[in-house]
Amino acid sequence: MASQAHVETLAVREQFDTAHQQQDASTLGMWIFLLTEIMFFGGMFMMYTVYRAVYPHVFGLASSTLNEMIGAVNTAVLLCSSFTMVLAVRGAQLGRRRTVMLFLILTIVLGLVFLGVKGFEWNQKFQEHHVPGLAFHMEGTSQQGPAQLFFSLYFAMTGLHALHMVLGCGLMLYLLWRTYRGTYSAEYYTPIDMGGLYWHFVDVIWIFLFPLLYLIDRHLK
């Protein structure tokens, strides 16, 4: 391998020797980032595991105040958005600009629907006085403290997830704009690929949040 200074392109930046090397590096980097996200959300999953183990009855009661149908439908919405996302990536692999744009738009719309429903649910919780620290009261138990713990976890975990969804929608908008401008091709579509990985990851988090928050002890209702 001889001298280094080649003309820098998007697909082969100056620190890399080949496009393949850059793509490999980007992919590994993205997966390591997702690894950090596993540990980031993981702290809250740990808290949830401990408190549910210690207060199983109250957690079941609190969970049943959530609307499982809305939760299930919202889960389906997010799964649909993952479907449209992977079709966007596939379109990018095939170099089909319009296909990519269509499916990115659908993904964003579905993401916004999810967020809208989430906002509606949160508002419901607010109406029912199930928001910790704001005149909290949940009927059916004298253990108001642990009930607040459930809802603290509910808001913290769905809140962090929603924040990631918002960032994800922003990311998709950026990719949409770039696609419109013709930045990507079948030879270079790595950012779309990486965006897809992020989006799917946020979906996987919700795949776990749904049963853990909404489906505790439903057989008792």
Q: At what angle do helices 190-214 and 68-93 cross, to 10 degrees?
A: 170
Part of the chain binding another protein (CB under 8 A), chosen from 67-75, 106-114, 122-130, 165-173: 67-75
Q: Considering only residues 198 through 217, tell me which ones interact with another protein, judged by CB under 8 A.
A: 200-201, 203-204, 207-208, 210-212, 215, 217
Q: Residue 132 carries which DSSP code?
A: T
Interaction between residue 34 and another protein (CB under 8 A): yes
Q: Considering only residues 38 through 57, tell me which ones interact with another protein, judged by CB under 8 A.
A: 38-47, 49-51, 53-55
Part of the chain binding another protein (CB under 8 A), chosen from 2-10, 106-114, 119-127, 174-182: 2-10
Cα distance between residue 158 and residue 144, in whole Å: 21
Among 9, 24, 140, 173, binds another protein (CB under 8 A): 24
Cα distance between residue 111 and residue 82, in whole Å: 9
In the complex, the smallest distance separating the C-beta of residue 67 from another protein, rounded to whole angstroms, is: 12
Q: Which has the closest alpha carbon to 85: 22, 168, 26?
A: 168
Q: Considering only residues 120 through 149, tell me which ones interact with another protein, judged by CB under 8 A.
A: 132-134, 143-146, 148-149
In the complex, the smallest distance separating the C-beta of residue 104 from another protein, rounded to whole angstroms, is: 15
**b/e burial code for range 139-168 (CB count within 10 A of at least 16 → b):** eeeeeeebbbbbbbbbbebbeebbebbeeb
Decide: 174 and 108 in contact? Cβ < 8 Å.
no
Interaction between residue 5 and another protein (CB under 8 A): yes
Decide: 183 and 97 in contact? Cβ < 8 Å.
no
Query: Which CB, 31 or 120, lies closer to another protein?
Result: 31
For 91-129, the three-class secondary structure string (H helix, E strand, C coil) is: HHHCCCHHHHHHHHHHHHHHHHHHHHHHHHHHHHHHHCC
Part of the chain binding another protein (CB under 8 A), chosen from 113-121, 165-173, 174-182, 192-200: 192-200
In the complex, the smallest distance separating the C-beta of residue 115 from another protein, rounded to whole angstroms, is: 19
Interaction between residue 152 and another protein (CB under 8 A): yes
Within 10 angstroms of residue 87's Cβ, the number of other Cβ atoms is: 18
In the complex, the smallest distance separating the C-beta of residue 196 from another protein, rounded to whole angstroms, is: 7
Judged by CB under 8 A, how many residues of this single chain contact another protein? 85
